[in-house]
Amino acid sequence: MKRILLLCLLATFFTTQDSFAQRKESRRKKSKNKTEEKAPEGKSDKNGFKPYSKVITKDAVTDSGLFQVHKIKDEFFYEVPFSQLNKDMLWVTRIAQIPNGLGGGYINAGSKTNEQVVQWERFQDKILIKIKSYASVADSTKAISNSVRVNNYEPTLYAFDIKAFDKDSTAAVINVTKLFSSDVKGISALSGRLRKQYKVKKLDANRSFINSVKSFPKNIEVKQDFTYDAAEPPTERAAESISLQVNQSMILLPEQPMQPRLYDPRVGFFTVKQYDYGSEALKADQKTYIRRWRLEPSDVEAYKRGELVEPVKPIVYYLDPGTPESLKEYIKQGIEDWQKPFETSGFKNAIIAKDAPTPEEDPEFSPEDIRYSVVRYVASTTRNAVGPSVSDPRSGEIIESDIIWYHNHLRSYRNRYLLETGAANPSARTLDTPEEEIGEMMRMVIAHEVGHALGFPHNMAASYAYDVASYRDGAFTQKNGIAASLMDYARYNYIAQPGDTNIRFVRQMGPYDHYATNWGYRWIPEATSPLMEKATLNQWIQEKAGDPVYKFGRQSSSFDPQSQTEAIGNDPVKASTYGIKNLRYVAQNLPSWTSSKTNDYQDLEELYGELIGVYSRFVGHVVTNIGGVFENLKTPAQGGVVYTHLDEASQKESMQWLQNNLFETPTWLVDPAILQNIDHAGYAEKIRRTQSRYLNRLLSFDRLGRLIDAETTQTEYYSALEMLSHLRSGIWSETRRGASVDIYRRNLQRSYLERMAYLMTDEGPKSRSGRPGFEGALRYDISASDVRPLVRGELQKLKKTLRSARNASVDTMTKYHYEDAIARIDQLLDPK
C-alpha cells in the first residue's frame, strides 16, 4: 500500500513539474514573440499595435528598397526591418533649392549642412534613431569597450511609436511624417548662425511639407519643402519668409569597413581621427586615417604583376544637368585628368566623367541622391569653387562628393590672367579671353577641386620646388607647369617677362600629384591591417625625401616661406620683384585694355581693385620671410630638425625690399588716368590701407615672438631689435634727411604709431586654437617678454629724432605732423 502511494505521489510531482515547465516555456515564448502576436482582424492587440492592414491600407503607394516606404495621403510610413537595426548608416543633410543670397553667396543648391552616422534601434515599443560617434573606440572583446560605451552615450535624434508589424513580423511600421515635416535641429539645413542673422522665428507648418520619399536598395532620399517665418530674410523682405528645399540622404554603410590607411603628415591627405582606448599605449591612442575612395583591383593577380587594372568600382562624376554646353568638355577633362595619377597607383579608368542621365533615361536621378557624385553648376555671383566630400568615419572611405562650381568664378580667372600674365602674354591683354584659354583655366580649377574630393588638401610647398629662373624657360614650363602639384594655390606664371617665349602661364598636374595618389591609393596586397602597410608607406616617403618636388607643405604654416598661398618660385624676393615689374606694365596699359574698348569704366574699376590685391599678395610673400621658419616634416630616423629659421641675410634683404617696394610710396599705383575715372575721392586711403595691412603683420606679437625665439637656438640671427630698428629707420627716413613728409608718408607714419601703441597695450592672442588643421597664433606672456621694452625703446629713440627734425622742418604741415607724433608718443609712454 505504501509503495502504491509513493508511486502516485511521484507521478503527481512529475506531472506537476512537467506542467509548470510547459507553462514557463509557454510564457517565455509569448514574451519573446509578443511583438509577433497578431491582433484579431480590425482590432489593436493588448500592446496597442494595430493590424498591418489597418495601418498600411490599400490606399498606400509603396516604394521598396533599404526600407519599405509607404505614402498614404499626406503621411509617410517606414517599415524598419529588424535585420537593419543597429547597423551604421550615414545621414547627410543638403540644401536642394535655395533662395537668392542665403548665407552671403557661399551656400548653394547642393551645399552639405550636416553629416552624421546613425543607427536604428528598438527600445520596448519604440524605434529610435541614435546618433553614433566613432570618435572614441575600443575592441569589443576588451573590457574597456564597456567604459567607452557608457562614457560616450549617443543622443537620440528621434523616437517613434511602433504602429504595427509587417505580415511576417520581420519589420516594425512607424510613421515618419512628423520627423520630416517638423523643424528637427539635428537634420536642419538652417544653422543657428543663419537663424540669428535672419531673425528666424519658427517653421510655418502650413507652408511646409514633405515633397517626396524614395527608397533605393542601399539608401533613402527625402525632399522637404520648408518655409520659415523670418523678420529679416536675405531676399523678398516684404514676405518675411525664407523658403528652401532640403534633401535628407541616408545610406547603409558597408558591413565590412574598408581597411583604413594610417596618415603620415609628410604626405597631404584629409583625415578622420579616433581615440582607441583598447590600444596597448599608455594613453588613449589617437589613430588618424586618410580619407580616400575604396579602389580595389578587379583582377588581383594582374595587379600584382604590375599591370594596369580597372577597379571593381570606379569613381564616377556626373555633370549637373544645368551645366552650359560650352563648358562640359573642359569639366570632363578636369575630372579625367586624374586618370594618369591613378595609373601611377596601378588603376586604369579609375575616375570617369559622365553627363547626367535625362529624365527619360533615369527618372529617379537627382543630384542630391547620395549614390551620385556630381559637379554642381551654381547660378550665383559668387566667385569660387569647392570640392567637399562625405566619408565613413570608421575607415575614412569617401562615400560621395559634390564639386561646386559658381558661375562667376570664370571672371576671377579672366581678371587674374590679365593682371598677372598680361605683361608677358599678349593673349591675356583683353576682356575677351580666347575660349580655349578660359577652358584650360576651368579645366585646371575643376581638376584642383576634384583633387580635394579625392582626399588631397592644398600643398602649399609645391610651388617652392622650382627655381625662380625656371619660370622664364619655355621648355621647362611646358613640361613642368608652375608647381609640382595641382593642389598648390599657384594659378599663373607671374614671373615670366616680356620677350620670354613658349611660356606656359597656367598650372597643370605635377609629379607630386602622381606620388601622393600612389601613396594613398596603391593597393598593398600582402598587408591585411593598417600597421602592416606602415613600413611600405614609410619606404615610399624615404625614397623621395629631400627632393622638393615631393615635399608637402601645410596651408596652416603661415610662418613658412616655402608654403605660401598664391606664391611661385623658391625665392619670394626675386619672384615678387618680377611680379611687380609686370604689374607696373599692366597698370600703365589697363585703361587701353579696358575702358578704351568698352567705352565705360566698370571693368577698369574692377580690375584696378584686383590689381591692388595682386600687388598686396606679392608684398605678403616677402613679409613672410621676416621671422620666417621653415617646416620640413620628418621622422627622427631621417635626422636633422623639423623647424629651421630663415638665414639672417635673407631676412635683412627682405626688409630692405619692403622699404623699397611697400613703404616708399608705390606712386605707380596712383594713376590719375585710372583713379579720377573710377572714384571721386579716397586715393591716398587706398595706399594707406595696403601699407598698414602689412605693417601690422610685421609688427605682430607672433612674428616678434619668433624673432625673439631665434636667439635661443641660432648663433646668427635677425633679432627683433634689428628688425624694429630697420623698420623705424626706413619709415621715418625723412627725419634724417630734413625732407618734407607728403600725405602718403604721413599716413604711413601715423599707422606705425598706432601699431606700436597696440603692441604696448594689447595682451596678445589668448589661445593657439583655431580652425582644425590650421596653426593658431603663437601664445606667450607679452608683459613678461622683451616686446614691451623693445617697443618703448624704439619710441623713445623716435621721439628724440622727431624733436630735432621738428625744429628743422621745411614746411608747416611736416612740422605739425611731427608735433602730433611727439604728442602721441608722450601719451603712450606716460598716459598720466
Query: pLDDT digits over 88-113, tens only?
Result: 999 999 998 888 888 877 787 878 89
* CA 352/CA 333 separation, integer angstroms: 10
Instruction: Note the pTM of the prediction, 2 decimals.
Output: 0.89
Q: Does residue 127 surpass a pLDDT of 90? A: yes
For range 338-350, the mean pLDDT: 98
pLDDT tier at 44, thresholds 50, 70, 90: low
pLDDT score for 45: 63
Q: Residue written as cell 615678387?
A: 576
Torsion angles phi and psi, residue 366, rounded to 5: -145, 135
Q: Residues 713-732: pLDDT tens digits?
A: 888 999 999 999 999 999 99
Q: Residues 477-501: pLDDT tens digits?
A: 999 999 999 999 999 999 999 999 9
Q: Residues 813-826: pLDDT tens digits?
A: 999 999 999 999 99
Chain mean pLDDT for the chain: 90
pLDDT tier at 46, thresholds 50, 70, 90: low
pLDDT score for 378: 80
pLDDT score for 778: 76
- 818 to each of 610, 726, 745, 825, how far by Cα in Å? 34, 20, 12, 11
CA angle, residues 206, 184, 396, in degrees to nearest 5: 140
Cell numbers of 230, please? 523670418
Q: Given CA atoms 94, 99, 100, 102 in this order, what sign does their dihedral have?
A: negative
Cell numbers of 269, please? 591627405
Q: Does residue 831 surpass a pLDDT of 80? A: yes
pLDDT score for 470: 98
**pLDDT, greater one: 122 or 830:** 122
**pLDDT, greater one: 368 or 80:** 80
pLDDT score for 659: 98
pLDDT score for 768: 57
pLDDT score for 8: 46
Q: Residues 237-263: pLDDT tens digits?
A: 999 999 999 999 999 999 999 999 999
Number of separate helices (H) and strands (E) present in the chain: 25, 24
Q: Does residue 146 surpass a pLDDT of 90? A: no
pLDDT tier at 775, thresholds 50, 70, 90: low
For range 295-311, the mean pLDDT: 97
Cα–Cα nearest to 214, from 115, 103, 362, 346: 362
Instruction: Give long-range contacts, CB 8 A cutoff, 24+ apart: 58-67.
Output: 63/213, 63/214, 63/215, 64/215, 65/214, 65/215, 65/216, 65/217, 65/218, 65/219, 65/220, 66/215, 66/216, 66/217, 66/218, 66/219, 66/220, 66/250, 66/252, 67/171, 67/215, 67/220
Q: Does residue 1 surpass a pLDDT of 50? A: no
Q: Residue written as cell 515618419?
A: 176
Residue 339 and residue 349 in contact, taking contact as beta carbons nearer than 8 Å? yes
pLDDT score for 772: 46
* CA 249/CA 265 separation, integer angstroms: 32
Tell me 805's DSSP state.
Answer: H
pLDDT tier at 28, thresholds 50, 70, 90: very low
H or E element that contains 799: helix 787-807
Residue 346 and residue 297 in contact, taking contact as beta carbons nearer than 8 Å? yes
HSE at residue 99, side-chain half, CA atoms within 13 A, is 22
Classify 226 as helix, strand or coil.
strand
Q: For the packed helices 409-421 and 572-593, what is the interaxial angle rounded to 10 degrees?
A: 110
Q: Does residue 143 surpass a pLDDT of 80? A: yes
Sheet holding 75-81, edge to edge: 61-63, 68-72, 75-81, 171-175, 164-165
pLDDT tier at 5, thresholds 50, 70, 90: very low
pLDDT tier at 622, thresholds 50, 70, 90: very high
Structural domain boundaries in the chain? 59-252, 259-624
Q: Given CA atoms 602, 608, 613, 614 in this order, what sign does their dihedral have?
A: positive
- 1 to each of 7, 15, 304, 357, how far by Cα in Å? 10, 21, 88, 93
Instruction: Give long-range contacts, CB 8 A cutoff, 24+ apart: 301-307.
Output: 303/346, 303/523, 303/525, 304/525, 306/346
Q: Residues 387-433: pLDDT tens digits?
A: 888 999 999 999 999 888 887 788 899 999 999 999 999 999 999 99
Give 164's strand partners.
173
pLDDT score for 29: 42
For range 564-576, the mean pLDDT: 97
Cell numbers of 508, please? 597643370
Classify 30 as helix, strand or coil.
helix
Q: Residues 500-517: pLDDT tens digits?
A: 999 999 999 999 999 999
Torsion angles phi and psi, residue 671, rounded to 5: -105, 110
* CA 312/CA 103 separation, integer angstroms: 40
CA quadruple 574, 576, 581, 587: dihedral, nearest 10: 180
- 423 to each of 568, 651, 663, 794, how far by Cα in Å? 17, 29, 24, 42
For range 149-164, the mean pLDDT: 93
Cell numbers of 484, please? 609640382
* CA 789/CA 731 separation, integer angstroms: 20
Q: Residues 423-475: pLDDT tens digits?
A: 999 999 999 999 999 999 999 999 999 999 999 999 999 999 999 999 999 99
pLDDT score for 405: 84
pLDDT tier at 384, thresholds 50, 70, 90: confident
